[in-house]
Amino acid sequence: MAGANTEFELRGVNHLALVCRDMKATVDFYQGVLGMPLIKTIELPMGWGQHFFFDCGGGDALAFFWFPDAPEPVPGVSAPKDLPDRGELVSAIGSMNHVAFDVPPERIEEYRDRLVAKGIDVGVVLNHDDSEFGVARDVHDGVFVRSIYFKDPDGVLVEFAAWRRRPGGLPGDVRHEPKTAADRTGPPAT
């Protein structure tokens, strides 16, 4: 099997931990809007805050910390300023750019409509391919994933991604040389 891990038996994502401003608003969004069951809640010791876990499918969890003294986010630094189909994708080194949930390919348009009906600002369905800009207007054989993007109450960029074919199986799926810190055009590291 291409890409099999021979070092460690990794079985997927246990959980991804993010930080929220308002745990109730976070529960209302992830459980109430997206339907993810709340599976574990923790009050942190010494008044440090809370840590809640949601089942996001496939045995994986999405977790949130609430800290009473957490600093405010900086859009464009800690997260992209807007949705990718609106021209925003960049976030800072060390930030979490977005979290993507796998959804059935035949339901991507339905899920977009359902989110819009719930009052969520959702981008257009993107057909990701290997073209110059990485997105095609129409679905064709080269489209490997279709997705939609939206934000949670804290500005976390969320994606519903629907594989049309799993990557790693075709020649050219892995063909680019990795860039180094010397290739950066942004401010130098401090």
Decide: residue 63, CB within 10 A, 0-12 exposed, 13-18 middle, 19+ buried.
Answer: middle
Return the pLDDT at 188.
Answer: 66
Q: What is the DSSP string of 56-77?
A: EETTEEEEEEE-TTPPPP-BTT
Instruction: Please choose, from the candidates 16, 19, 54, the residue with its C-alpha nearest in 3D space to the C-alpha of residue 33.
Output: 54
CA 45/CA 55 separation, integer angstroms: 24
Return the number of other C-beta atoms located less than 10 Å from residue 64's C-beta. 23
**pLDDT band for position 1 (50/70/90)?**
very low
Helices assigned H by DSSP within 50-180: 108-117
Q: What is the SS3 assignment for 87?
A: coil
The mean pLDDT value of the chain amounts to 88
Do 94 and 147 lie in one domain? The reply is yes
How large is the average pLDDT for residues 124-137? 89
Q: What are the tokens at 87? A: 């021209």
CA 169/CA 173 separation, integer angstroms: 7
Do 61 and 115 lie in one domain? The reply is no
Q: What are the tokens at 69? A: 């003294």
Q: Which of 38-47, 87-96, 110-119, 172-181 has the highest mean pLDDT?
A: 110-119
CA 76/CA 88 separation, integer angstroms: 8
- Does residue 186 lie within any of the structural domains? no
- Per-residue pLDDT tens for 91-107? 887 788 899 999 999 99
Domain total of the chain: 2
pLDDT at 50 over 90: yes
pLDDT at 18 over 70: yes
Structural domain boundaries enclosing 18? 10-68
What pTM, to 2 d.p., does this model score? Answer: 0.82
Decide: residue 173, CB within 10 A, 0-12 exposed, 13-18 middle, 19+ buried.
Answer: middle
CATH number of the domain at 109, please.
Answer: 3.10.180.10
Per the CB < 8 A criterion, the answer to whether 178 and 96 are in contact is: no
Do 113 and 138 lie in one domain? The reply is yes
Share of the chain above pLDDT 70, in %: 95
Do 56 and 99 lie in one domain? The reply is no
Return the pLDDT at 2.
Answer: 58
pLDDT at 124 over 80: yes
Do 46 and 109 lie in one domain? The reply is no
Instruction: Pick 10 or 5 by higher pLDDT.
Output: 5
